[in-house]
Amino acid sequence: MMRGHRRGFELDRKLNSESEPVLWLGLCELRVMNDSRWPWLILVPQRPDVEELFELTPLDLTMLTFEINLVAQALKDTTGCSKINVATLGNVVRQLHVHVVARSENDANWPGPVWGHGLRTPYRREDLHQFVETVRRAL
């Protein structure tokens, strides 16, 4: 009741179990996918019951665009990757979320997509924390 515009937002359980929080932006919760095969961030707009981009208000959509841009640039700068992949699929987890993934020529499944490829490979705890800190400092 006191959280204003975030009222009713609850992070999807699968997203919660497979990723860790990095920080909170104006609209989105920024998370890191706990999969050491690729540097992989996820933006989740803190709005309840939204599945498609076009269900966001125009202001929220503009905010999301700005936050994607910010995170994509930071991920490129910190990883020196070949290409940033940005996607919102939602075929499995319906809660609107945007993947921002750093891809390089020698990574797993290059140049194919990261989704549905093999098994998630969790980070060692210290490596996850180091990646989170690197991303935080870049933002």
Segment contacting a second copy (CB under 8 A): 9-17, 26-34, 37-45, 52-60? 52-60
Q: Of 5 and 94, which has the nearer Cβ to a second copy?
A: 94
Give the residue, chosen from 28, 42, 68, 132, that forms a contact with a second copy under the rule CB under 8 A. Answer: 68
Give the residue, chosen from 20, 88, 138, 139, that forms a contact with a second copy under the rule CB under 8 A. Answer: 88
Q: CA–CA separation, 79 vs 65, rounded Å?
A: 21
CA distance readout (Å), 47 to 32, 98, 100, 104, 109: 19, 13, 19, 32, 33
Does 73 participate in binding a second copy (rule CB under 8 A)? Answer: yes
Does 37 participate in binding a second copy (rule CB under 8 A)? Answer: no
Segment contacting a second copy (CB under 8 A): 8-16, 23-31, 48-56, 120-128? 48-56
**Contact yes or no for 136/128 (Cβ under 8 A):** no
What are φ and ψ of residue 30, in 5° steps? -95, 130
The CB-side HSE value for 11 (13 A sphere, CA atoms) comes to 17
Segment contacting a second copy (CB under 8 A): 1-9, 12-20, 34-42, 82-90? 82-90
Closest CA to 108 of 78, 136, 85: 85
| Interaction site with a second copy (CB under 8 A) | 51-54, 61-62, 65, 68-69, 72-73, 76, 82-92, 94, 103, 109-113, 115-116
